[in-house]
Structure 1
């Protein structure tokens, strides 16, 4: 397992006057970046 740190997941444009980035903690397991059960934070 290799910890890649926080990575950008998406940008939340639900409020155009307050656009927020969303991040997730990325880990590589045997060369695979699995996003199925990832926790996304604003």
Structure 2
């Protein structure tokens, strides 16, 4: 059984990524995005 993210969790994640990008930490933002994508893809199966 997979867990769907709540709206609040999704917003928190997006605001965190946005803050990282705005402070110039794009590498960390990309790392988080890649982890989230990998997790989402693994939960589809």
TM-score, normalization by structure 1: 0.22
Tell me which of the two structures has the higher relative contact order, counting C-alpha pairs closer than 8 angstroms and 6 or more residues apart. Answer: 1
Greater share of strand: 1
- For the pair shown, which has the larger CA radius of gyration, 1 or 2? 1
Greater share of helix: 2
